[in-house]
Amino acid sequence: MASRIVNVGLVQQRSQHDKGKNVAHACEGIAEAVRQGATLVVLPELFATDYFCQTEDPKFFEWAEPLDGPTIAQVAEVARDLQVVVVTPLFERRARGLYHNSLVVLGSDGAQLGAYRKMHIPEDPQFCEKFYFTPGSQGFSPIQTPGACLGTLICWDQWFPEAARAMALAGAEILVYPTAIGWMPSEKELLGDAQLDAWRTVQRSHAIANGTFVVAVNRVGREASSVGEVEFWGHSFVCDPMGRVIAEAGEQEQVIVVPCDLELITEQRHWWPFFRDRRIDSYDGLLERWIDVKGR
């Protein structure tokens, strides 16, 4: 069997509470990944700033930038200089009063290969994203890069099998999840391990069900706000099309580079041909909010 290897770099980093420092630090991470052989690098969700969604405060809208703003320009320059593709998350200002939780895929010439706006927006205590982010309306279209077709999704999207499936059906070879997920101090002792394992498990299942690679890149570090703090748990990982975790980071800053042989996708789907057997004649219910049945 031939191989088609893409070396994927994961830049797991903490916020230094300053956009300039964070972007510079991410650029150092990209360079480190390239030194290790990466041709595709993924940064964490909203890497340029603190995770400001712990509270609802309109002052944070000042941190947003357009898709062609200075942060993207700065990373694009690094992408071009180092000839590497970079999945670059961004707090996007699309118009006055219209903001998205987005990412741009920058090509190795610094040009934009495509963008994605987070489709599923969470809203929990200290994850008040519905206040800030308008849900994307572009749907689920993978972004083709020279090395691989990327199903780019963001954080909360990772809990929805629909998003992974839709990306795979449109040709995604690697599902990519920039992420900002962590423990609440009050829950960590009782639920921390189960939360981390559920997060890893549901993403591994997308690899299994779709015969794709999955790359999840999380933040690390504690970030405080006026209402408490979140401890971002790291554990960025890559799993293969059988759902096997082939590389996993710890809970500190880390740059890892993982060779992914995309030919494994074909092999896996030959043995587990789920696309052959999907009952598309019977999936109408998936477009419903709920199937109301008396008493349930």
Instruction: Find the binding residues for a copy of itself in span 33-52 (CB under 8 A).
Output: none
Q: Which of 24, 66, 242, 259 binds a copy of itself (CB under 8 A)?
A: 242
Among 60, 63, 131, 274, binds a copy of itself (CB under 8 A): 274
162 is catalytic: no
Report in angstroms how near the CB of residue 157 gets to a copy of itself at its nearest. 9
CA atoms within 13 A on the CB side of 79: 26
170 touches a copy of itself by CB under 8 A: yes
Per CB under 8 A, 131 contacts a copy of itself: no
**Residue 33 vs 181, nearer CB to a copy of itself:** 181
Can you spell out the DSSP letters for 54-104?
GS--GGGGGG-B-TTSHHHHHHHHHHHHHT-EEEEEEEEEEETTEEEEEEE
Nearest distance from C-beta of residue 36 to a copy of itself, angstroms: 26
- Between 49 and 218, whose beta carbon lies closer to a copy of itself? 218
Neighbours of 227 (CB within 10 A): 11
Residue type, 209: A
157 closest CA partner among 172, 144, 284 = 172
CB of 179 to a copy of itself, least distance (A): 15
Which residue type occupies 76? A
# chain residues binding a copy of itself, by CB under 8 A: 56
Q: Residue 218 pairs with which residues in a beta bridge?
A: 179
Integer CA distances (angstroms), 230 to 100, 124, 186, in order? 22, 12, 10
- Does 278 help bind a copy of itself (rule: CB under 8 A)? yes
8 Å CB contact between 58 and 64? no
Q: Which of 45, 92, 129, 223 is catalytic?
A: 45
Q: Which of 27, 53, 128, 155 is catalytic?
A: 155
Q: Which two tokens stand for residue 207?
A: 């690899």
In the complex with a copy of itself, the residue whose CB is nearer, 63 or 159, is 159
Which residue lies nearer to a copy of itself by CB, 222 or 275?
Answer: 275
d(CA 177, CA 283): 26
Catalytic option among 27, 65, 92, 118: 118
Site for a copy of itself in 174-203 (CB under 8 A): 194, 197-198, 201-202
SS3 state of residue 11: strand
Q: Is 118 a catalytic residue?
A: yes
CA distance 253 to 173: 27
Residues written for the chain: 296
Q: Distance between CA atoms of 64 and 294, rounded to whole angstroms?
A: 46
Binding residue for a copy of itself (CB under 8 A) from 243, 254, 267, 269?
243
**Cβ nearer to a copy of itself, comparing 131 with 160:** 160
**Would you say 89 and 37 are in contact if contact means Cβ atoms under 8 Å apart?**
no
**Positions marked active-site:** 45, 118, 155
List interacting residues with a copy of itself (CB under 8 A): 119-122, 124, 135, 137, 139-140, 144, 149, 156, 159-163, 165-166, 169-171, 194, 197-198, 201-202, 204-206, 208-209, 242-244, 271-272, 274-275, 277-280, 282-291, 293, 295-296
